[in-house]
Amino acid sequence: MSFSEQEVERYARHLVLREIGGSGQQRLKAARVLIVGVGGLGSPAALYLAAAGVGTLGLLDPDTVALSNLQRQVMYDMADVGRGKALSAGLRLSGLNPEIEIDPLPMALDAANAAELVAGYDVVLDGTDDFATRFAVNAACVAKGKPLVSGAIGRWSGQVGVFGAGLTRGKPLAERQPCYQCLVNETPPDAEACSLVGVVGALAGVVGSMMALEAIKLIAGAGEPLNGRLWVYDALDGESRTVRLSADPACRVCAAA
């Protein structure tokens, strides 16, 4: 897979990186990434993945842009209010990088269609804020063997994890990567939506960018992705920590191999 002169100039800062270089940029160009939820987290993630030259981006979101979204969803501006997020984001990303393909998917993901939706992609990013969707995305990624980059935010804190249970099903528990449901087995009884508790807008940029970084590392084969680990960030204190996760032997999603 060759690069045009324009692509060589566009990706010059990647091409000189030892960890990416020409081969890594070719893998990015060939990659297909599905972003579930083009909101607070999906917006910065999609912008940076498009800028990085990911060949195909699927943008899955059934919602329309609201004025209250603009505090953190940097993909959109006032002209987008009332328009569908998937289509508006597709136009924005095509303007940023016309070299890539965009698949706008203005629909909801659920347990019935999740497996079919994720099957056509190499990596899945989940930035949604409801647990039913998170569980459906995770189950589909396990079933189809797709790595999942999951992010979440609320108030002043956020987290990112990479879950690849579908890539190691059938292995002994000690060798198996956890899936998202190993971390969150059921919907927490104290789960709170950002619309109720609030969230600082810039936090979405930090966590969404971190999700894009993890996807780039997975695709390009650079560094150590957060496989089986959870990065937790406290913006108020300016501190972060990384927690190592274990597969749940009783997980109803990934344990039944």
Tell me: the pLDDT tens digits for 69-121? 999 999 999 999 999 999 999 999 999 999 999 999 999 999 999 999 999 99
C-beta atoms surrounding 170 within 10 Å: 7
Can you tell me which residue has the tokens 């969150």? Answer: 184
Q: In sequence order, which residues have a C-beta less than 8 Å from that of residue 32 and are 6 or more positions away?
A: 54, 55, 56, 58, 120, 121, 122, 123
Amino acid (one-letter) located at 121:
Y
Helix (H) or strand (E) holding 233: strand 229-234
Q: What is the pLDDT of residues 124-163, one digit of tens each?
A: 999 999 999 999 999 999 999 999 999 999 999 999 999 9
Q: What is the model's pTM?
A: 0.94
Q: What CATH architecture does domain 31-244 belong to?
A: 3-Layer(aba) Sandwich (3.40)
